[in-house]
Chain A
Amino acid sequence: DVKVTQSSRYLVKRTGEKVFLECVQDMDHENMFWYRQDPGLGLRLIYFSYDVKMKEKGDIPEGYSVSREKKERFSLILESASTNQTSMYLCASSRRAGRGANVLTFGAGSRLTVL
């Protein structure tokens, strides 16, 4: 069964800590995405990547960075966590072209609480 795996389902961190959220997909997808989900706001795009070592800013990149050193892995980094980054973080991947392009496969999510 193909899937997107997010390493941590629940995290609790303190203000100012550096936080790493890891995402791995086993579908050989070119594209990978990080969204955050907040009640009443839906999903908002943080960063995305169309290839290894490539990254593009989404709609709300402030306070975040990403790393994509391998095709299957896309990491989201909070350099200095703040309470307003308490949220559900969703990783997704998709094919670049052909059948199924732009169809996102999502991970189960990582719920981050910053105290």
Chain B
Amino acid sequence: AQSVTQLGSHVSVSEGALVLLRCNYSSSVPPYLFWYVQYPNQGLQLLLKYTSAATLVKGINGFEAEFKKSETSFHLTKPSAHMSDAAEYFCAVSSSGNTPLVFGKGTRLSVIA
């Protein structure tokens, strides 16, 4: 069975500071990994995905994530936070290209001016 653990339900950073959102996964097979973002009163949209190509994945809005098999992690980073990054972020895992995604509980990111 697959699972995802997002460390920290709420992260607060200052504008311009590094953003680090943590995600650890459990999967019995090489995983497909995703980060989604949800802005207030909207559905989720894809930030980036890992599908066994490069371990460093670049996404939209300056975000990137690094797949580390030895640590079973897929942490999301952005060098410099912007006010518009305030949202909820979800990490998700799937064991194959056609099985439902399992989501983490989400991390709410606040950006302080």
Contacts and interface: CB of A to CB of B under 8 A. Distances in A.
Interface of A: 4, 31, 33, 35, 40-45, 48, 50, 58, 90, 92, 96-97, 101-104, 106-109
A97 B99 CA distance: 11
Contact of A104 (B46, B104, B106): B46
Given A102-B32, A104-B44, A108-B42, A97 B101 contact: no
Given A101-B98, A102-B32, A102-B97, A4 B90 contact: no
Given A90-B44, A108-B43, A102 B9 contact: no
Interface residues of B, number: 25
A96 B98 contact: yes
Contacts, number: 57
Contact of A106 (B9, B44, B102): B44
A103 B90 contact: no
Interface string B96-113: 111111111110000000
In the complex, the 8 A-B pairs of residues with the closest C-beta atoms, listed nearest first? A106-B43, A42-B105, A43-B103, A106-B44, A101-B97, A108-B43, A42-B103, A42-B106
Contacts of B44: 43, 90, 92, 104, 106
Contacts of B105: 40-42
Nearest to B32: A102
B73 interface: no
B100 A4 contact: no
Given A43-B103, A43-B106, 13 more contacts: A42-B90, A42-B103, A42-B104, A48-B100, A50-B98, A58-B100, A90-B44, A92-B43, A97-B97, A102-B97, A104-B36, A107-B43, A109-B41
Contact of B43 (A40, A44, A103, A109): A109
Contacts of A106: 36, 43-45
Contacts of B42: 108-109
